[in-house]
Amino acid sequence: MIATPKLMTVSDAAADRIKAIMAKSDESLAGLRIGIENSGCAGVAYTMEYAQEAIKGDDVVKDNGVTLFIDQKAVMFLLGTEMDYKVDKMASGFVFDNPNQTSACGCGESVELTAVSSDALNSFMAGD
């Protein structure tokens, strides 16, 4: 039996950073909304924004003590992705380890994503 991947997972470092950022907000936040939008030379960019509640159609992921609301249009491109937070000498930020990413632009603004196979998506949707 083939294991069905989770829609998304959140690393310890990303969860810690999300919790720290959300704790500083003056608003009551339920989590982060994750999606993709057309952008850059490679095709799309990941989007993140504060979420006070789920929007109809969002997939809700609870992992490592944080809640992510996944835009329904992004599910087929994010299936199996791990969200991480990296700190380097010159920069820090959230990164996405996405098995559906086929390339990225040189400037780091955008990526090219391929939708998961219909079998993988159907298996995920069925909860196998």
How confident is the model over 51-75, as pLDDT tens digits? Answer: 999 999 999 999 999 999 999 999 9
State the pLDDT at residue 65: 96
3-state SS assignment for residue 111: strand
Tell me the sheet residues that pair with 96.
Answer: 83
The residue with greater pLDDT, 125 or 7, is: 7
State the pLDDT at residue 120: 67
Tell me the sheet residues that pair with 38.
Answer: 44
Q: What does the alpha-carbon distance between residue 71 and residue 124 come to, in Å, rounded to a whole number?
A: 16
7-57 per-position pLDDT tens digit: 899 999 999 999 999 999 998 999 999 999 988 776 788 899 999 999 999
State the pLDDT at residue 103: 73
Residue 14 contacts residue 21 (beta carbons within 8 Å): no
In CATH, 8-126 is 2.60.300.12: yes
Q: DSSP assignment of 40-67, as one string?
A: TTTEEEEEEEEESSPPTTPEEEEETTEE
Q: What does the alpha-carbon distance between residue 9 and residue 97 come to, in Å, rounded to a whole number?
A: 10
User: What single-letter DSSP state applies at residue 108?
Assistant: S
* CA distances, 100 to each of 46, 52, 79 (Å): 13, 28, 8
Instruction: Answer yes or no: is pLDDT of 5 > 60.
Output: no
Tell me the whole-structure pTM to 2 decimals. Answer: 0.81
State the pLDDT at residue 53: 93
Q: Give me the residue spans of the domains in the chain.
A: 8-126
